[in-house]
Amino acid sequence: MNVLFIHQNFPGQFVHLAADLAKDKKNKVVALTIDQRPAPAGVIVRPYTLLRSPAQETHFLLQDQEGKVLRGEACAAAALQLKRDGFEPDLIIAHPGWGEALFMKDVFPRAKLVIYCEYYYAAEGQDVGFDPEQPPLTFTQRCQLRLKNTTNLLSMEIADAAISPTEWQKSTYPAWAQEKITVIHDGIDLKRLKFDPEARLKIGTRDGSQAIEFRPGDEVLSYVARNLEPVRGFHVFMRTLPEVLRQRPNARAIVVGGNEVSYGQRAPGGLSWKEHMLKEVGGELNLSRVHFVGQVSYDAYLQLLSISRVHTYWTTPFVLSWSFLEAAASGLPVIASDTVPVREFADQLQVQTVDFFGQQEYAAALVAQLAKARRNAPASDRSHLSLPRCLKRQREWLSSI
């Protein structure tokens, strides 16, 4: 079978599935991408480039759409070259979010197109408007958000089938679209998440003196996000920290995440959300006990999961992070926000949830867990998310299309 993956940041969510399909010598697996990253063994990566940049004179409400059309155009040009080179896919698996799938059926009309349904934006009822502290969208922003779904809708209309990793993410789509969507998680590599008693993590200090080495048994609270921002509850976490560290004088917080904005709005005054929150609560914190480490390698992240005594995950109703599922699947105790995406897995993964805005209850839960020796739940309790099981379900589903 010839399989074509399309994702501007390939492998992205397709890392496990692409690797699995490429292991079968009867398959030829090709990927189109704009941002070249290490790919699974056996996958042929064909980068594409935009034919031009978006025009400055484009209507401001269409600027995002033009960017996606340009990606679709460039991706189609690369696909046409693949066709000239003799590659004709039986199956195309694409993330529709950046417009890359828009013209695939026009290049390869006989191929089955599967799209990955990550999220359908809404002006109310999901992440937008959930936190009253965040300023409401302007009329223009609401219009931009509505148009953000255009590529999703056009890709869904031409797709033969669609897949979503969680029931909640599927539920964000219109009812007619949900009929096309099958829910199968990407899968969690439980073997890599096994507790490592020899884990070590060295972190530099603010004053530049000798680095501190952390190991299992240390009283460590971990927080992980791609970027530190309110969509991932960073502001609530920071306001909780002073009380947690006051009650646990030997505890330290290790905070993983960059200072950009992945989702939502920017902090006031041109500051990063880290700078904004330190301005608010920094005076109440002993910052020598709070370690902001930025974005780290996956290996360092795995070390942290073995070292941490309790992990916290806070999110508005938005796409569920892999870090949440991996932390819980590793057996690490997790305190998480009681929001819809988390609820879908909380009972299965034995995760304690707290109201998103319940700052005192949040602090109390973290303090109570830090006071205990770490416990590790058996990985077998998480078998429904195991990589082999999820890949088997994905292969069976793809064969049925």
Parent domain of 291: 201-381
Q: Are residues 391 and 376 in the same domain?
A: no
* CATH number, domain with residue 310: 3.40.50.2000
In a domain, 195, yes or no: no
pLDDT of residue 35: 86
User: What are 131-143's pLDDT values in tens digits?
Assistant: 999 889 999 999 9
Q: Are residues 358 and 396 in the same domain?
A: no
pLDDT at 209 over 80: no
In this prediction, residue 55 has a pLDDT band, given cuts at 50, 70 and 90, of: confident
Q: Are residues 241 and 345 in the same domain?
A: yes
In this prediction, residue 378 has a pLDDT band, given cuts at 50, 70 and 90, of: low
Residue range 35-52: mean pLDDT, rounded: 92
Q: Give me the number of domains the chain comprises.
A: 2
In a domain, 349, yes or no: yes
Bridge partners (DSSP) listed for residue 341: none
User: What are 350-359's pLDDT values in tens digits?
Assistant: 999 999 999 9
Nearest to 97 by CA among 190, 207, 18, 13: 13
pLDDT of residue 379: 53
User: What are 324-337's pLDDT values in tens digits?
Assistant: 999 999 999 999 99
As a whole number of angstroms, the distance between CA 55 and CA 99 comes to: 17
pLDDT of residue 373: 85
In this prediction, residue 80 has a pLDDT band, given cuts at 50, 70 and 90, of: very high
Q: How many residues belong to the chain?
A: 401
pLDDT at 54 over 90: no
In a domain, 27, yes or no: yes
Q: Are residues 367 and 396 in the same domain?
A: no
pLDDT at 305 over 80: yes
Q: Are residues 212 and 167 in the same domain?
A: no
Mean pLDDT estimate for the chain: 94
Q: Are residues 68 and 172 in the same domain?
A: yes
In a domain, 143, yes or no: yes
What's the token pair of residue 389?
């099981």
Q: Are residues 174 and 302 in the same domain?
A: no
In a domain, 196, yes or no: no
Three state DSSP letters for the chain:
CEEEEECCCCCHHHHHHHHHHHHCCCCEEEEEECCCCCCCCCEEEEECCCCCCCCCCCCHHHHHHHHHHHHHHHHHHHHHHHHHCCCCCCEEEECHHHCCCCCHHHHCCCCEEEEECCCCCCCCCCCCCCCCCCCCCCHHHHHHHHHCCHHHHHHHHHCCEEEECCHHHHHCCCHHHHCCEEECCCCECCCCCCCCCCCCEEECCCCCCCCEEECCCCCEEEEEEEECCHHHCHHHHHHHHHHHHHHCCCCEEEEEEECCCCCCCCCHHHCCHHHHHHHHHHHHCCHHHEEEEECCCHHHHHHHHHHCCEEEECCCCCCCCHHHHHHHHCCCCEEEECCHHHHHHHCCCCCEEECCCCHHHHHHHHHHHHCCCCCCCCHHHHHHHEHHHHHHHHHHHHHHC
Q: Are residues 55 and 146 in the same domain?
A: yes
pLDDT of residue 374: 79
In a domain, 255, yes or no: yes
Q: Are residues 46 and 163 in the same domain?
A: yes
User: What are 92-122's pLDDT values in tens digits?
Assistant: 999 999 999 999 999 999 999 999 999 999 9
As a whole number of angstroms, the distance between CA 359 and CA 220 comes to: 19
pLDDT of residue 29: 98
pTM, full prediction:
0.92
Q: Are residues 42 and 182 in the same domain?
A: yes
User: What are 220-265's pLDDT values in tens digits?
Assistant: 999 999 999 999 999 999 999 999 999 999 999 999 999 998 888 8
In a domain, 338, yes or no: yes
pLDDT at 207 over 80: no
pLDDT of residue 380: 55
Residue range 74-95: mean pLDDT, rounded: 97
User: What are 182-201's pLDDT values in tens digits?
Assistant: 999 999 999 999 899 999 99
pLDDT of residue 210: 75
Residue range 338-360: mean pLDDT, rounded: 95
Q: Are residues 167 and 24 in the same domain?
A: yes
